[in-house]
Structure 1
Amino acid sequence: MAETLLFLLLILSFFIIAYIIIFFTTIVLHLPPSPPTIHLIGHLHLLTPSLYKSFHSISIKHGPLPHLRLGPSRSLLLVSCASSSASIFKTNDLSFSSRPAFTFADKLPYGTSGFITAPYGPYWRFMKKLCMTELLSGRQLERSMSIRRDEIERSVKRVLENAGVATAVDLGAELMKFTNNVTCRMAMSTRCSEKCEDAEKIRKLVKESFELAAKLCFGDVLGPFKELTFWIYGKRAMDVSKKYDELLEKVLKKHEDKRSSSHRNGDDNERDIMDIPLDDSYQSLLFGSIHCRHRDFSRSYAMGNGSAEAMQWAMAELLNHPEAFHKVRNEIESVTQNVRLVEESDIPNLPYLQAVVKETLRLYPPGPVTTRECNQDCKINGFDIPAKTAVAINLYAIMRDPEIWEDPNEFHPERFLKEKDDQSSDYDYQNDDKRMEFNFVPFGAGRRGCPGTALAF
């Protein structure tokens, strides 16, 4: 009897201590403000399929740093102003150097092994170094320059052929074909929009994998019912992973054969991204397999699609703004003299074209929202941010902030230019990283920013 009473007293003491700890922790922590919630669903009723626009609406009504609750157990810090994003991208960059992992990442093959999804640590740092020294090195980009030039010529030729017979051109489809072919040829030396069965399969798998990822991530907001989404979609996700493995193993085998042939013939100039994991110096660090990189390979296709969409927006804005269109055309004609196509080496001499690109990316960023996770307790704008807090940085809202940008919803490339002197109408491209202080972040920033940002400009 005495032992039972003692046991009950211990349990009661445990709950009292736990309650006291939770109570005082809640009082001590100075958390960001939170909009009114609905029981169980939290703030899910404030979200729409256009997530970045719904985030923008929330920040307009409830301030630039609201704390949201998604479902019964998932919390999210929403960042929608440049000063707060600077705290994450710069001041507390190391504290926000990881991305939030969705619930079922550990149940899927290579769920946290890719460069995009890997937690911050030695493996991620190695992959970042590999990306910067191999994939985006000056030597590799110079090798692939002929690929980009060839695809530009092919694309222009197709458009001219259609114009010659007065046939309408689906500009979106043409740009998608162009970017996919460039990506595919740089990645595995084959074109993906012609008669390429493997590449077409990969394109379909990319689409399916992103659709499944969105459905699986929804399980994070279901609390105790989160296992339901994996029970429904888990098998499909596993099947997609296996299909990736089969296709990429096939491509890898072709590259091994091609690599052996090149070595025998003394020719090692034809090198692409898929050759890198075949190097002896990298195989042990990459676990001797390309399997774990299929998610990043799908991301490369997604980025190619993002580039196509950005070009479509740029063309649409130029057509809707004839004055800007004529400025771009006159600038290009002054450089090429209408006797050749624009080359990559011409870009420094095309400041207004660069301004058009940057203004397009400001209005229509490829990834409107980027995510982080706080890996240690820190402060932002005086608020306490506990460890393991998921963060969504709304790049769309930051680059349309009326307190920073004049007429933020208007297409005005001149905002990125300055006159050289009072007597000249020539423009000089500004160093926006120094001038804007994280006001212009179409590809994110900090350790987790896009490693190809410099190349994009």
Structure 2
Amino acid sequence: MAMSLLYLFLITFVSLIFVCKKIKSSKWNLPPSPPTLPVIGNLHQVGELPHKSLQHLAARTGHVMLLHFGFVPVTVFSSKEAAEEVLRTHDLDCCSRPKLVGSRLLSRGFKDIGFTPYGEEWKERRKFAVRELFCLKKVQSFRHIREEECNILVKKLTESAVDRSPVDLSKSLFWLTASILFRVVCGQSLDESKFIDKDKVDELVFEAETALGSFTCSDLFPIAGLGWLVDWLSGQHKRLNDVFFKLDALFQHVIDDHSNPERSKDHEDIIDIMLDVMFKQRKDDSLKQDHEDIIDHIKGFLTNIFIAGIDTGAITMTWAMTELVKNPKLMKKVQDKIRDSLGNNKVRITEEDIHKVPYLNLVVKETFRLHPAVPLVSRETMAHIKIQGYDILPKRQILVNVYAIGREPKLWRNPEEFNPERFIDNPVDYRGQHFELLPFGSGRRICPGMAMGMATVELGLLNLLYFFDWKLSDGMTHKDIDVEEAGTLTVVKKVPLKLVPVRVH
């Protein structure tokens, strides 16, 4: 009897909340919404691939739509025009981030760049990152690392080519981006790292992305600790804390190693730079940061770089190779253009070679369009604005569906077809100024590591396509290559891409 009364009270309480919200919001011209269920709202309509679920809902509801994830209203934008209003016209009012449980924990209480809400502290960190870590001069200073790691990959693939054995290209490309990042950030080779097992890096990245990309009841039902209790009972808090402690242990080991005065180093890496600059700033009397606070900020930065920097480049290269293998004629055309431009006698590819093959950039753009590694751009409004005539209220979570925009038939002819030549004589670019192609976002929150990411992707693909032809395993044809997706925060090829390399040059 007591439990029945409790359930009746909860249902009545929740129903009153919805009625009050409806009365309060009736004076606004809110975006249309698909039908909702009590309490959970539209959660039942969001499947394992949220970007696809939201694309299908938008096709029925509208390119600007209001959803309810539990008690949290979320506005989703799925058109170029709406994206431009959000990310350019109203960028200043839409450039904050929601304070979610997972992002708060992994960013160490919002001491990073990626998840910190907009404000003076975020602006200072962003300036620091652009000036000290990701400026063009700094990106170019790490060029030799990218070239050396690509050369190592070519040697490993050549060994597999001797006996014509298939390689897991998805994993090989993940290790390539991870190896480059570890040397750039930590100053040490991933193969020789004392702090992490190379074979467990992908597992850790996956766990971190899952933690950040998953819903928690605390975020969806922020009512007097009820959501927290459900997260605790379901084990969600434990999973988040497990990832936090794994990342924290890794970063602490690396920072301790960099603090050793006897440490030998080949180059000044990103951790060297952060330690040097941040502790120099500490001497300024106006800055009251203690040692622990500075270390927390460095770990927050490292979390952003680790999660955003490793997986996205590997995902882009994997999708590009997948689409080319699916289309043998296009693969041959791309390789012919590369080999004609570079000749047949190169022993090693350098970044100067990238500019000799403009067609490769078209392939990368088309991969960004069809397979954006991060399909949903997340923001939070800081003021009441109007988008496409609809009222978007303050503190409203917003999502720009980059995936849906990239497959919009009104923008792209035959949008499901992989066709790099659609970008010939086409001014559309990926740097955030063209809102039909937003792989790095746009506006104040655009990815600061864009130049470094592009350098890795183009150099990696150039090595794969110049030195090797790619065959399928026995019994397979190009029609057997699937494009099934998996993931939430980032979207990977669900079935790893396994191909047989054939050394050509």
Give the TM interval when normalised to the shorter protein.
Answer: 0.7 to 0.9
How far did residue 298 of structure 1 move?
3.5
Across the aligned residues of Structure 1 and Structure 2, the Cα RMSD in angstroms comes to 2.9
With CA pairs under 8 Å and 6+ residues apart, which has the higher RCO, 1 or 2? 2
1:278 corresponds to 2:285: no
Residue pair 2:365, 2:429 contacting (<8 A) in 1 also: no
Residue pair 1:202, 1:244 contacting (<8 A) in 2 also: no
- Give 3-state SS (helix, strand or coil) of 1:98's partner: coil
Residue pair 2:145, 2:184 contacting (<8 A) in 1 also: yes
How far did residue 354 of structure 1 move?
0.5
**Residues 142-157 of structure 1: pairs in structure 2 closer than 5 A:** 142-157=140-155
Aligned length: 423
C-alpha distance in structure 2 between counterparts of 1:351 and 1:253, whole Å: 43
Decide whether aligned partners of structure 1 residues 185 and 453 sit closer, same or farther in structure 2, where only a CA change above 3 A counts: same
C-alpha distance in structure 1 between counterparts of 2:301 and 2:356, whole Å: 34
Structure 1 match to 2:339:
333
How far did residue 305 of structure 1 move?
1.6
TM-score by length of 1: 0.84
**Residues 18-417 of structure 1: pairs in structure 2 closer than 5 A:** 25-71=24-70, 73-103=71-101, 110-193=108-191, 196-198=194-196, 200=198, 204-215=203-214, 217-224=216-223, 225-231=226-232, 232-257=235-260, 270-279=267-276, 280-283=279-282, 288=291, 289-302=294-307, 303-340=309-346, 341-417=348-424
- Equivalent pairs: percent with the same residue? 31
- Residue type at the aligned position of 1:305: D
Post-superposition CA distance 1:9-39 (Å, at most 9, x none): xxxxxxxxx9999787533211111111112
- Residue type at the aligned position of 2:439: P
C-alpha distance in structure 2 between counterparts of 1:456 and 1:77, whole Å: 29
Decide whether aligned partners of structure 1 residues 290 and 329 sit closer, same or farther in structure 2, where only a CA change above 3 A counts: same
Decide whether aligned partners of structure 1 residues 19 and 275 sit closer, same or farther in structure 2, where only a CA change above 3 A counts: closer
Structure 2 match to 1:6:
none
C-alpha distance in structure 2 between counterparts of 1:335 and 1:144, whole Å: 25
C-alpha distance in structure 2 between counterparts of 1:354 and 1:108, whole Å: 34
Post-superposition CA distance 1:101-153 (Å, at most 9, x none): 11576677713211111111111111111111111123322221110010011
Highest Rg: 1 or 2?
A: 1
How far did residue 444 of structure 1 move?
1.0
C-alpha distance in structure 1 between counterparts of 2:187 and 2:436, whole Å: 38
C-alpha distance in structure 2 between counterparts of 1:433 and 1:408, whole Å: 17
Structure 1 match to 2:495:
none
C-alpha distance in structure 2 between counterparts of 1:19 and 1:67, whole Å: 15
Structure 2 match to 1:10:
none
TM-score by length of 2: 0.77
Decide whether aligned partners of structure 1 residues 59 and 358 sit closer, same or farther in structure 2, where only a CA change above 3 A counts: same
1:443 corresponds to 2:446: no
Post-superposition CA distance 1:80-113 (Å, at most 9, x none): 0010000111000000111111157667771321
How far did residue 43 of structure 1 move?
0.9
How far did residue 316 of structure 1 move?
1.4
Residue pair 1:98, 1:119 contacting (<8 A) in 2 also: yes
- Give 3-state SS (helix, strand or coil) of 1:66's partner: strand
Unmatched 5+ residue regions in structure 1? 1-17, 263-267, 419-428
C-alpha distance in structure 2 between counterparts of 1:245 and 1:79, whole Å: 35
Residue pair 1:177, 1:193 contacting (<8 A) in 2 also: no
C-alpha distance in structure 1 between counterparts of 2:168 and 2:105, whole Å: 41
How far did residue 311 of structure 1 move?
0.8
